Chain A
C-alpha cells in the first residue's frame, strides 16, 4: 500500500512523516516518533491507556488512524512537564497523592485529566469520576487518582488543596 505523507504538531514540535493508511495513531506515536508514554493496553478503545490530546479533545489513539490526525495538534504525556523539567500540576498531584501504583494507566489518566481541567477548572468529585470513566486503573481503586486531580485543580486555581475527610 502506498504511504501517505502526514504533518502534525506533537508536543509543540512540527512533525512530518510517511505512514501506511492503516497505521493507528498509537503505533505512529510509539514506533515512529518513539513517544512510548502513551501505552497500548486493550487496543479495543476501552482502557484509555493510549489517551492523547488531539485538537482539544481527549482521544483513544488506538482507535484513530494516523492519517486522521493529519494537520492536528497533539499532546502526549511527554508534553506535560515544562521544558526545564518542572512537573505539571497533574504530575505533581499524582506523585503527592500516590495516584499510581504500577503506573501503566498514568499517562492516559494525566492527559485525560488535563483536558477535563481545561473544560472544567473546579470539578466536583462526581464530575472527576465521570470525566475519567474512559480510563481504567487496576491498582488504585481510583481514590488517589481522584485526589491527585483535585490537588492539581487546586494548584492550578491558586488555592490550597484540602483533602476531603474520609
Chain B
C-alpha cells in the first residue's frame, strides 16, 4: 500500500513525531498508513549475538525489557531521557530512528552500538547499517515505499560499560547536545570504544576519530582532552533557542567527557 501510494503516503508508527509535524504543516501527507496492527513489527528477541527489536516497539516497552536491560542497558538509559511518560507509551523505536530528525536520541545510540536497520519495500528486504543511514535532516537511506521493520543491535561484550549523557533544558526537550559511549576495558586500559553524538549536526554523528584516540588509553586527562577536541571538531550545530552554535559544540565535548567517565566506571576489566 505504501509502495503504491508513493510520495503521497507516510507510515504512521506512534505518531509522536509525525502528528506534531502535520499540525505545523511541515508534513502534509494525503494518506497515512497506520502500522499499529502489524504484529510482525512488534517484540524484542535474541538472535545469535544480536537483539532484534521490532520497529513498533515503544520506548515504554524498551524500558521494561529485561533482555535489553541485562545485555544492552544503554537502550533503557536513553529511552528514559526521551520525552515524558505519556510520549514513551506511544513513541516507537522505529519511528525514532527512521524519521531522520537530528534531535531524536536513538539514532546516535544505534550508530554508537553498530546497529543495522531491516528495511522492506517492493524490492524485498535489505539491511542498512545505522552508520550509513543518515544523509541529512529528515533525509535518510529509506527509498519511497520502503519501511523500517526492525532494528538489529549487536550485544556488546559482557563487562562493557556504557552511558548516554544528554543536556536538555527541561523534560521533553531535544538535546542541546548529547553523547553515547560504549567501551570495554582491559586492565586499566580502554580496549575498545565507540562514541555517538546527538543534535549537534544535520545528522547524528559517529565520532570515530575521537573513539580511536580513547582506545588504548587509561582515559588520562591529556587523552580525554584530545578526544573531546576531536569530537567537537566534527560538530556543526545550529544556533537556536538551545544556545549559540559555539556553546552547543562545547557542550557536546562536555557530554563526551562525562559519558566516557561514566561508561568506564560501569565497565568490568
Residues of B within 8 A of A58 (CB): 85-86, 89
Residues of B within 8 A of A93 (CB): none
Instruction: Please give the number of chain A residues whose Cβ is less than 8 angstroms from any Cβ of chain B in the complex.
Output: 23
Is B15 at the interface (CB under 8 A from chain A)?
yes
Closest B-chain residue to A56, C-beta based? B89
A7 to B87, CA, bound (A): 24
Partner of A63, one of B20, B34, B36, B85: B20
Is A36 at the interface (CB under 8 A from chain B)?
no
Is A92 at the interface (CB under 8 A from chain B)?
no
Is A75 at the interface (CB under 8 A from chain B)?
no
Residues of B within 8 A of A68 (CB): 12, 15, 34, 36
Closest A-chain residue to B85, C-beta based? A134
A153 to B32, CA, bound (A): 41
Is B245 at the interface (CB under 8 A from chain A)?
no
Contact between chains at A134 and B86 (CB < 8 Å): yes
Q: How many A-B residue pairs have CB under 8 A?
A: 58
Contact between chains at B60 and A60 (CB < 8 Å): no
Partner of B87, one of A21, A45, A65, A132: A45
Interface residues of A in 60-81 (CB under 8 A from B): 60, 63-65, 67-68
Closest B-chain residue to A22, C-beta based? B22
Is A131 at the interface (CB under 8 A from chain B)?
yes
User: Known: A57-B89, A68-B15, A134-B85. Contact between A45 and B20, CB under 8 A?
Assistant: yes
Is B243 at the interface (CB under 8 A from chain A)?
no
6 nearest A-B residue pairs (beta carbon) = A134-B84, A57-B89, A133-B171, A134-B86, A58-B86, A60-B86
Instruction: Give chain A's interface residues, CB within 8 Å of chain B.
Output: 21, 43-46, 48, 51, 57-60, 63-65, 67-68, 112, 116, 130-134
What are 12 A-to-B residue pairs whose CB atoms are below 8 Å? A43-B23, A45-B87, A57-B90, A60-B87, A63-B16, A63-B90, A64-B19, A64-B90, A65-B19, A133-B171, A133-B172, A134-B85
